[in-house]
Amino acid sequence: MVRDEPLDFENEDDPLLPTARPAKRSKVIGLDDLLLDYLQSSKKDKLKVKAAKSKRGPKGGYDSGEEDDKSTQQEIAVCKIFEEVQQKGKVMDARDDVPPWGQQIFGCQKPPSNLSNVGVENCQLLQSFSAIEGLGFDLEMHQGEGFLEGMLLDGWLLNLVRICGFVEDSIASWTLTNLLHSSNEKLQVSAANFWDGILSLDEAGKPLVNLGYLPSYSVLKRAMLSYGYLFDTPGTKASASGSTAAGGSDDGLPHNIIAWLGVVSACCKIRVTVDLNCLRIVDCITGMNKRSKFLRSQVALQLLKISFGLKVANVEKMLKLVTSINVKEKECDFFRLYVYLVLMDNLLFSSDAFREKTAIVDAWRNYLRNCSTQIGCTD
């Protein structure tokens, strides 16, 4: 990062901020998404875990407020970091809209600790082998992981899991570890395919596979740390820049980052319940600069897409769907409508992207006007 750029006044103006800023890079959208995905998935994990723990308890729904508070704390913390970064970014944005290129996002990469001891050899799948007869070959226990790797590489594992509709926790976590940390590219790609497969939905929008294990916030974060991601908080900045200046040979883009992004975004495609969480996610993004506004608009768009089942291709069609909700009908779900309204509002007015598309904005205004006249005060 130590670059001789005597003519770069941007940096001279603010000598305290010379280092990489995650939110500012040529691939900024990707990184913003990344952070956001982070939030979403961690939230969902928590929700899922909770739902699983309280088995058939009242699930999710609109009364999840209290529960959410806990689960969103972590998220809010990240959001704050994010905001700070955004604020700092804004200072620079005011003077210069051109994002600096070549900023370093990832510093020193270190191999994550205690990976080897996952104990996948003891999974039920492999244990069941001894009960099977007549296959014509034997499997030693110590070959278990290698055999499982083969099954993963050749696609058998995914087929098996998909047909059974169930995946053991130990296998799920083992494949995730491979996805996040394996340096074997083929294994990593296969693991990514596996996760992509088990996280996908069938035509009715139900998950194909019953998952007890989902990538948790801590696992994802540990991976990020081992990739050397420079969490750009005020406290760590000095040390981060110090370590990168002395950066070892491990600098550069971490190999597994694409898979990381893949699994996180796949996590986010699992149907989000339409509830206050959606609004919270959007609200979390508070920055006022162009980029965070755009991010907010895009997040709202994605959430709307998910709640309409991913079949709606563009904003026009989505608008049509939302505006086709007849508020006079008895079964009209006002809560849902409210969520849609807020998301739509964020989508359309957070960024400048729709400023010129007057047709869309007009249609939206009309609908709002109708809503305000047609909905009785009692509702």
Partner 1 sequence: MAASHAPPASVAAATDGGIEENAMAILDSSGIKDSRDLHDDRVAFLEAVRSACLAADNPSAPSWRMYNGVFQILRNSSSLELAVASFHLLTELGKQYPRTYVTDSSGHQSLMVVKECWLPFLLGNGAVSSEIGGNVRSSDHLFDPSRFSLLIEAIVEPTNATDDDNGIKAIKNMMLFQYLVNTLEADFVPRHIAYKESLDWVIFRESLLNMLLGSRKLMFKSFVKNCMFILLNQYHPEAKDEVEDIVPSERKAKSASDHDFSLNYSSFESERTLVSLRKLFVMVMKLDLIRKEADTLGLTSRADGFRNPIMEIILDELTYNSSYLSPFLLAFVEGKWKLEIILQYFSKYCGKGPVRTRRRSDNSQEDLKLESVLSFFLTATSANAIVKKMGAEIAQLLLTHAYQVCLSVQDVTSNSTATSEKIGATLQEISSNFISAFQNIRKASPNIRISPFEKEALFTAATLIRKLKSEER
- In the set 164, 258, 288, 332, which binds partner 1 (CB under 8 A)? 164
Nearer to partner 1, 209 or 240 (CB): 209
Q: Give yes or no for residue 245 binding partner 1 (CB under 8 A).
A: no
List, in order, residues 6 or more apart from 172 with CB less than 8 Å away: 198, 211, 212, 213
- In the set 156, 334, 335, 338, which binds partner 1 (CB under 8 A)? 156
8 Å CB contact between 271 and 205: yes
Q: Shortest distance, CB of residue 92 to partner 1, whole angstroms?
A: 23
Q: What is the DSSP letter of 122?
A: G
Helix residue ranges, H only, 98-216: 124-127, 144-153, 156-164, 169-181, 185-198
Task: Please provide residue 332's backbone torsions phi and psi, each rounded to the nearest 5 degrees.
Answer: -65, 125
Q: Shortest distance, CB of residue 154 to partner 1, whole angstroms?
A: 6
8 Å CB contact between 201 and 271: yes
Q: Are strands 210-211 and 166-167 parallel, antiparallel or unpaired?
A: parallel
**Of 50, 54, 87, residue with least CA distance to 70:** 50
User: What 3-state class would DSSP assign to 31?
Assistant: helix
Residue 141 identity (one-letter amino acid): M
Q: Give yes or no for residue 309 binding partner 1 (CB under 8 A).
A: no
- In the set 61, 119, 150, 242, which binds partner 1 (CB under 8 A)? 150
Q: Shortest distance, CB of residue 31 to partner 1, whole angstroms?
A: 16
Residue 251 corresponds to which tokens in the numbers above? Answer: 């600098």
- In the set 15, 136, 235, 376, which binds partner 1 (CB under 8 A)? 136
- In the set 135, 246, 313, 377, which binds partner 1 (CB under 8 A)? 135
Q: Which stretch binds partner 1 (CB under 8 A): 162-170, 172-180, 228-236, 238-246?
A: 162-170
Per DSSP, the residues of 33-100 read HHHHHHHHHHHHHHHHHHHHHTTTSPPSSTT-HHHHHHHHHHHHHHHHHHHHHHHHHHHHHHH--SPP
Q: Annotate each residue in 314-353 with x if it binds partner 1 (CB under 8 A) or - if it does not, as one string.
A: ----------------------------------------
Q: Give yes or no for residue 16 binding partner 1 (CB under 8 A).
A: no
Residue whose pair of structure tokens reads 């991976």 in the numeric block: 223
Residues 172-201 that bind partner 1 (CB under 8 A): 185
Q: Shortest distance, CB of residue 353 to partner 1, whole angstroms?
A: 16
- Residues in contact with partner 1, counted by CB under 8 A, come to a total of 30
Nearer to partner 1, 120 or 322 (CB): 120
- In the set 2, 5, 53, 137, which binds partner 1 (CB under 8 A)? 137
Residue 29 corresponds to which tokens in the numbers above? Answer: 């959208």
Task: Please provide residue 106's backbone torsions phi and psi, each rounded to the nearest 5 degrees.
Answer: -115, 130
Nearer to partner 1, 179 or 276 (CB): 179
Q: Shortest distance, CB of residue 252 to partner 1, whole angstroms?
A: 5
Q: How many Å apart are CA 9 and CA 12, to the nearest integer?
A: 5
Residue 218 identity (one-letter amino acid): S
Q: Shortest distance, CB of residue 212 to partner 1, whole angstroms?
A: 17
Q: Give yes or no for residue 132 binding partner 1 (CB under 8 A).
A: yes
Residue whose pair of structure tokens reads 């055999």 in the numeric block: 147
Nearer to partner 1, 325 or 360 (CB): 360
- In the set 67, 76, 87, 162, which binds partner 1 (CB under 8 A)? 162
Q: Give yes or no for residue 253 binding partner 1 (CB under 8 A).
A: yes
Q: What is the DSSP letter of 289?
A: S
**CA angle, 294 then 297 then 303, to 5°:** 140
Q: Give yes or no for residue 311 binding partner 1 (CB under 8 A).
A: no
Q: Give yes or no for residue 203 binding partner 1 (CB under 8 A).
A: yes
| Distance separating the N- and C-terminal Cα atoms of the chain | 58
Nearer to partner 1, 155 or 234 (CB): 155
Q: Give yes or no for residue 151 binding partner 1 (CB under 8 A).
A: yes
Binding site for partner 1 (CB under 8 A): 125, 128-129, 131-132, 134-137, 139, 147, 150-151, 154-156, 159-160, 162-164, 185, 202-203, 208, 249, 251-253, 255
